[in-house]
A and B are shown apart, each in its own frame.
Chain A
Amino acid sequence: MDPSPVIRSGAIMVPVPIDELLAVAAHYERTGKMQEADRLLSHILAVAPNQPDTLHLSGVVAFRLGRQQEGLEKMEKAIAYGVDIALYLRNICEVYRTLNRLDDAVAAGRRALALAPSDPMCLHNLAVIHYERVEIEDSIAAADRALTMKPDMAGAHFARAEALLIKGDWEQGWEEYEWRFQIADAARMMPPTGKPQWDGKPFDGLLLLVADQGFGDIIQFSRYIPWVLERCPNAAIAGSREMIPVLRQFLPEDRIFVRWEDCPAFDAFIALSGLPRLHGTRVDRVPAPVPYLHADPERVAAWRERLRPLAPGSYKRIGIVWAGRPTHNNDRRRSATLADFAPLAALPGVALVSLQKGPPADQAGAYFGRAPLINIGAEVRDYNDTMALLESLDAVVTVDTSVGHLAAAMGKPTWILLATSPDWRWLLGRSDTPWYPTVRLFRQTRPRVWADVFQAVAAALAAPGEPDADSAMPKRQRSAASAG
């Protein structure tokens, strides 16, 4: 008698339909279990290498796991094998945008829209891509069309808000900007409350200000706190601990709360980022009482003493920041590298003082430029230190980060380097900003290409008398005048 064959569990082939496996993989992807999804999809692809849905989902997963090239190839293959599926194009459009292939992105976005003319998501994508391509009217038009189909589509409202704001239509822009809290994946500003949002009118009850969004926004919009206090003397503010050095320049420390459970019972609330709307701020009417932030004189003295031996002699001390917080959704567009600062490092008589924090600060170790680089970021503990350090410098050159706002709010000569499609607050085409009189803006001319921007900064810095705290006027005008 033959012995019974040994059956191993792994050897049993149970035919499971691909559709069911794919549904499981899609569930993993939706619930953020990328590794599981990746593994399952690779099994399916081993059996059905050209199955479009599998290729597409596998591409999405690979992309989200950081394997960008592989993800793109799979998604392109899915489009090649699948016939005119709008979802594929809509998704690849976002991938192209991330990879800075803006022409491909807009082409895919348009094809997706042609296949699914009634899908507002396709239009929303187009609105975002047009903004990034600095085609602001096209962006507004796409958002408008999305909103005719789905009037309460928060993402489209927000895309429209950014486009209106960057082109200077602040009256409409602020209204649309209110949709920012409705976006599906937006972080919740505060715990749910039955209390009303403040309407900007004089108010006797206790008003809770919420220092929302990034640190740069808080620094920028903190200027409105005195305006609020004129209308509403009984105010407290909720914000993160790091921002206390900024907020306490407007409110006593016992009115600043860093934990929701410690906040007093309030009668109304307002986000700092909602104040420009209530104030009725327009491009030609921006309250800019600069300097409105001040460093602590004792700390300034201590930091001057710390810097003195590190950069004696006759240096122009230029504070620099090359990268923002990596989790910022715009970070890959706004951040540069320390190596990009090479033209500044070649200038005689310049000392670079790194204010960089976070993982990109490690780049300081690989810097071998001619100008000394003082890697002081590691010794900076809080924004009190940052302010005192900024006070000890001659100027600041930074990508669009909170340090730029801080230096600008202190009235330091601050040169901010911007992407082609920057944050709305910097408007378009101008080298100054109504928000801060001592800021000078340097803009990319090609997406994500910094070389010419830094060349321009270096040339400006080498000009006699620069950086000049009293004037942020574009030097173009001056030289034109002197040439005549």
Chain B
Amino acid sequence: MSQPAFQMCPCGSGLRTVRCCGMTPGAMPPPESSRHLVPLVERAVIAHRQGAIETAERLCLDVLELAPDRPGALTVLYQIRKDQGNHTAAEALLRRVVALDPNSFVATNEFALLLLAKGAIQEAEVQARNAIRIAPQNPQAHNLMGMILTEAQRPRAGEYHYRQVIELSGARDPILLANLAWNLKNQGRMEEGRALYTESVAAAPNIRQTLLGWARLEEADRKFDAAAEILDRMEQQWPNDPGLLLSRAVLLGRMKRTDEALALLDRMAGQSADGGLGPNELAEKGRMLDQVGRYDDAFAAFAEGKRLARELSGHQYMDAAAENLISRLDNFFTAGRLATLPRATVRTDVAQPIFVLGFPRSGTTLIEQTLSAHPRIVAGDELPLIADLTGLMPRMLNSPLGYPEALAELWMGDQREGLDNLRDYYLQKVAQMGILAPGAAWFTDKMPLNETHLGLIALLFPQAPLIHAIRHPLDIMVSAMSNHFTHGMFCASALESAALHYTRVMDLVQKYRSEMTLRYLAIRYEDMVTEQESTVRSVLNFIGEPFDAKCLRFHENQRYARTASYAQVTERLYDRSRFRYRHYLKHLQPVIPILRPYIERLGYTVD
């Protein structure tokens, strides 16, 4: 109603809004009424194939103006917009193609790849699952699923699909082998990954991505010489490749040859066509400048990295969505309502979760590495399952409402066991991921910001230990600036939004804790550094496990953490990361007023 009929669609497709994203469902003419347009679509396809892009585009727009649901015209127009780099329009058009023709493998595959490239992994997974339903024997369908599950940090399930590709294709494609090797590296199975990289490179010696991945595996496995050797080999072929130079810089940084690493990054900046580095390069550069004490330069690199990341990805903090979700959670989880809701029962036949909560960069990886050095605790890493459950819950509880209001279904006689089903979904997924080792009584789930869902977690796992990593909020901000992560609705795309999201979530945690009886323990990152043994003892006592000295030597823990913290946790605990904010006080001024209440409440100071 509100769209004037002549207005062009903001997605940039070139169609009018009413023929594009503002189309009223059901207002479409029946398909047979536009059959006379089929020859035009055919001409558009041919024109496009022959490179007559303008003709093809004109034809598509004409057809779609009359019959906006012609998949052929939509597909050609999608190709054109994609090639023009108009991602918004391309996505809108392809989404429509898939909706019109849900059984098209090609379109579904294309759409899943587009979503994966954009980082919309959850949505990509939905499409990949469809692709397998459409073509269960198609190796590409399984390849897609393998890539997505690996990216979604469920490498064990991803491995299954990669192995399906090998079986269905009857061949050992070198790129597939490299993908599988990367998957195995993410599972910490370095030897097997190395063997596959060796095989892949023997068959196809000059695949850039393969060599970069292999070098990353060696670096993560602390085989610095082997990594350097691979990079040397790449250098002969691609002497100025930015990926190579960055990997080299990272490697030099881990080998403590910081000056050389910085020189390399400067060289990259000098040679890059647009005169600058990418977001990852800038973050790496900032971290190295930090190491050598050039703090102003470091922060400038961080800030530029954030700006560039925003520009390239289009991601910024989903302020309104975050505010909406958090206020709904705040309203829903009240002591009065909680007293009337059931709790899931506690399974005694399987390993139980330990939730390691906290804002990204607050020490969750360190706590997980420490705990998983214990013989009875295995690391689950960042499990996406609680977030998955919040999406699945309305369907699983058969509710017309969203999360968290869908929990109201638990008041219905036929949904009293609803929480048990949700709990079992979580535990079953964990089992499928291959996290659980024999003899493990516990596994960790360290998905940052899971504390947003503390109420749901406590309903599902009323006896699970909730370990909340606490760190000086300003140190978290420095760390959020020097790393890129998407958790918390992209709050870390800017300093101010990271601070805002931090306080929103902490307010919510405070609410949960005053309304519910929780098995909750706050652990300070700083205590882990300065009073390691007593802190570790207290966490283990809280979990109910005997102290084990191996937990103090977690850096010997061979398990490789996939997240950005991995480089730190494989080193001995060091004091440099404590109160690092002091070097950046003037840069942090804009967020100090936002964070001050929590700085004080947590017992920290600004000095």
Residues of A within 8 A of B (CB): 309-315, 348-349, 361-370, 372-376, 378-379
Contact A364 B514 (CB under 8 A): yes
* Contact A370 to B538, CB < 8 A, known contacts A365-B511, A376-B517: yes
Q: What chain A residues lie within 8 Å of B511 (beta carbons)?
A: 365
Contact B516 A378 (CB under 8 A): yes
A–B pairs, 22, beta carbons within 8 Å: A309-B462, A312-B542, A312-B543, A312-B544, A313-B541, A315-B541, A348-B538, A361-B514, A364-B514, A365-B509, A365-B511, A365-B512, A365-B514, A366-B510, A367-B513, A368-B601, A370-B524, A373-B520, A374-B517, A375-B514, A375-B516, A376-B517
Partner of B537, one of A315, A348, A365, A378: A348
A369 to chain B: closest residue by CB: B522
Closest 5 A/B residue pairs (Cβ): A312-B544, A365-B514, A365-B510, A313-B541, A309-B463
How far apart are the CA atoms of A375 and B510 in the complex, in Å? 12
Q: What chain B residues lie within 8 Å of A370 (beta carbons)?
A: 522, 524, 527, 538
Q: What chain A residues lie within 8 Å of B512 (beta carbons)?
A: 365
Q: What chain A residues lie within 8 Å of B540 (beta carbons)?
A: 313
Chain B interface residue count, Cβ-Cβ cutoff 8 angstroms: 33
Partner of A310, one of B335, B519, B524: B519
* Contact A375 to B601, CB < 8 A, known contacts A348-B537, A365-B509, A368-B522: no
Contact A372 B537 (CB under 8 A): no
Contact A372 B542 (CB under 8 A): yes
Partner of B517, one of A349, A363, A369, A378: A378
Contact A375 B538 (CB under 8 A): no
How far apart are the CA atoms of A362 and B512 in the complex, in Å? 10
Contact with A along B488-516 (1 / 0, CB 8 A): 00000000000000000000011111111
Q: What chain A residues lie within 8 Å of B463 (beta carbons)?
A: 309-310
Contact A313 B513 (CB under 8 A): no
Contact B513 A375 (CB under 8 A): yes
B462 to chain A: closest residue by CB: A309
Considering the complex, which residues of chain B in the window 537-567 have a beta carbon less than 8 Å from any beta carbon of chain A?
537-538, 540-544
Contact A368 B602 (CB under 8 A): yes
A350 to chain B: closest residue by CB: B538
A312 to chain B: closest residue by CB: B544
B515 to chain A: closest residue by CB: A378
Contact A378 B541 (CB under 8 A): no
Q: What chain A residues lie within 8 Å of B602 (beta carbons)?
A: 368
How far apart are the CA atoms of A310 and B518 in the complex, in Å? 7
Contact A362 B517 (CB under 8 A): no
* Chain A: minimal CB distance from B364 (Å): 16
Q: What chain B residues lie within 8 Å of A366 (beta carbons)?
A: 510, 601
Check if B470 is an interface residue, CB within 8 A of chain A. yes
Check if B534 is an interface residue, CB within 8 A of chain A. yes
* Chain B: minimal CB distance from A371 (Å): 8
Partner of B335, one of A367, A374, A378: A378
Check if B603 is an interface residue, CB within 8 A of chain A. yes
* Chain A: minimal CB distance from B414 (Å): 27
Q: What chain B residues lie within 8 Å of A372 (beta carbons)?
A: 519-521, 542
B512 to chain A: closest residue by CB: A365
Considering the complex, which residues of chain B in the window 32-68 have a beta carbon less than 8 Å from any beta carbon of chain A?
none
Contact with A along B584-604 (1 / 0, CB 8 A): 000000000000000001110
How far apart are the CA atoms of A374 and B462 in the complex, in Å? 13
Contact B514 A362 (CB under 8 A): yes
Q: What chain A residues lie within 8 Å of B510 (beta carbons)?
A: 365-366
Q: What chain B residues lie within 8 Å of A311 (beta carbons)?
A: 519, 542
How far apart are the CA atoms of A367 and B339 in the complex, in Å? 22
Q: What chain B residues lie within 8 Å of A313 (beta carbons)?
A: 540-544
Q: What chain B residues lie within 8 Å of A348 (beta carbons)?
A: 534, 537-538
How far apart are the CA atoms of A367 and B468 in the complex, in Å? 12
Q: What chain A residues lie within 8 Å of B516 (beta carbons)?
A: 375, 378
Contact B514 A368 (CB under 8 A): no
Residues of B within 8 A of A (CB): 335, 339, 346, 462-463, 470, 509-522, 524, 527, 534, 537-538, 540-544, 601-603
How far apart are the CA atoms of A63 and B450 in the complex, in Å? 45
Q: What chain B residues lie within 8 Å of A312 (beta carbons)?
A: 542-544
How far apart are the CA atoms of A348 and B547 in the complex, in Å? 14
How far apart are the CA atoms of A373 and B516 in the complex, in Å? 12
Contact A375 B517 (CB under 8 A): yes
Most buried by A among B524, B538, B602: B538
* Chain A: minimal CB distance from B451 (Å): 12
* Chain A: minimal CB distance from B338 (Å): 8
* Chain A: minimal CB distance from B346 (Å): 8
* Chain A: minimal CB distance from B512 (Å): 8
* Chain B: minimal CB distance from A279 (Å): 41
Contact B527 A309 (CB under 8 A): no
Other A-B contacts than A310-B519, A311-B519, A372-B542, 12 sampled, CB-CB below 8 A, are A313-B540, A315-B541, A361-B514, A363-B514, A365-B509, A365-B513, A368-B603, A372-B520, A375-B513, A375-B516, A376-B517, A378-B515
* Chain A: minimal CB distance from B601 (Å): 5
A374 to chain B: closest residue by CB: B517
Q: What chain A residues lie within 8 Å of B541 (beta carbons)?
A: 313-315, 349
Q: What chain B residues lie within 8 Å of A374 (beta carbons)?
A: 517, 519
How far apart are the CA atoms of A364 and B522 in the complex, in Å? 13
How far apart are the CA atoms of A81 and B408 in the complex, in Å? 64
B534 to chain A: closest residue by CB: A348
* Chain A: minimal CB distance from B510 (Å): 4
* Chain A: minimal CB distance from B342 (Å): 14
Q: What chain A residues lie within 8 Å of B515 (beta carbons)?
A: 365, 378
Contact B518 A375 (CB under 8 A): yes
* Contact A368 to B517, CB < 8 A, known contacts A309-B463, A312-B544: no
Most buried by B among A312, A315, A349, A365: A365
Q: What chain A residues lie within 8 Å of B513 (beta carbons)?
A: 364-365, 367, 375
How far apart are the CA atoms of A369 and B603 in the complex, in Å? 9
* Chain A: minimal CB distance from B532 (Å): 14
Q: What chain B residues lie within 8 Å of A365 (beta carbons)?
A: 509-515
How far apart are the CA atoms of A314 and B335 in the complex, in Å? 29
How far apart are the CA atoms of A147 and B130 in the complex, in Å? 92
* Chain A: minimal CB distance from B529 (Å): 15
* Chain A: minimal CB distance from B464 (Å): 9
How far apart are the CA atoms of A365 and B598 in the complex, in Å? 12
* Chain B: minimal CB distance from A359 (Å): 10
Contact B517 A309 (CB under 8 A): no
Q: What chain A residues lie within 8 Å of B470 (beta carbons)?
A: 368
Q: What chain A residues lie within 8 Å of B524 (beta carbons)?
A: 370
Q: What chain A residues lie within 8 Å of B335 (beta carbons)?
A: 378
* Chain A: minimal CB distance from B381 (Å): 25
Q: What chain A residues lie within 8 Å of B534 (beta carbons)?
A: 348
Q: What chain B residues lie within 8 Å of A379 (beta carbons)?
A: 339, 517
How far apart are the CA atoms of A313 and B543 in the complex, in Å? 7
A314 to chain B: closest residue by CB: B541
Q: What chain B residues lie within 8 Å of A367 (beta carbons)?
A: 513
Q: What chain B residues lie within 8 Å of A378 (beta carbons)?
A: 335, 339, 515-517
How far apart are the CA atoms of A303 and B544 in the complex, in Å? 18
How far apart are the CA atoms of A314 and B463 in the complex, in Å? 17
A315 to chain B: closest residue by CB: B541
* Chain A: minimal CB distance from B471 (Å): 11
How far apart are the CA atoms of A364 and B516 in the complex, in Å? 10
B603 to chain A: closest residue by CB: A368
* Chain B: minimal CB distance from A184 (Å): 39
* Chain B: minimal CB distance from A473 (Å): 30
How far apart are the CA atoms of A315 and B541 in the complex, in Å? 8
B518 to chain A: closest residue by CB: A375
A373 to chain B: closest residue by CB: B520
Q: What chain B residues lie within 8 Å of A375 (beta carbons)?
A: 513-514, 516-518
How far apart are the CA atoms of A361 and B511 in the complex, in Å? 11
B531 to chain A: closest residue by CB: A370
* Chain B: minimal CB distance from A309 (Å): 4
B463 to chain A: closest residue by CB: A309
* Chain A: minimal CB distance from B604 (Å): 10
A371 to chain B: closest residue by CB: B538
B519 to chain A: closest residue by CB: A310
Q: What chain B residues lie within 8 Å of A369 (beta carbons)?
A: 522
